[in-house]
Amino acid sequence: MKTNKSFSKRLRVTRKGKILARNPGHNHFNAKRSGSEKMHKNRAGSLEMTAKNRSRYLA
């Protein structure tokens, strides 16, 4: 099975093997958000995947 390239480009694998993904909700409607809220949302969140999905998306 081929790797899903569009999905794998949105993920980052750390040295210890954790998968990090950018949190949604950054593209528009951010002018009304406070600075602290924007900073808080900027942090990447970890993603839990099964071994089957990991091999499918990350190869």
* pLDDT of 34 above 70: yes
* pLDDT of 44 above 80: no
* pLDDT average, residue stretch 40-52: 80
Report, in angstroms and rounded to the nearest whole number, the Rg of the chain calculated over CA atoms: 14
* pLDDT average, residue stretch 4-17: 83
Q: Provide the domain limits for residue 43.
A: 5-58
- Class of residue 32 by CB neighbours under 10 A (exposed 0-12, middle 13-18, buried 19+): exposed
Q: What is the total count of domains within the chain?
A: 1
Per-residue pLDDT band for 27 (boundaries 50, 70, 90) equals confident
Question: Residue 53: which CATH number?
Answer: 4.10.410
* pLDDT of 53 above 90: no
* pLDDT average, residue stretch 34-44: 85
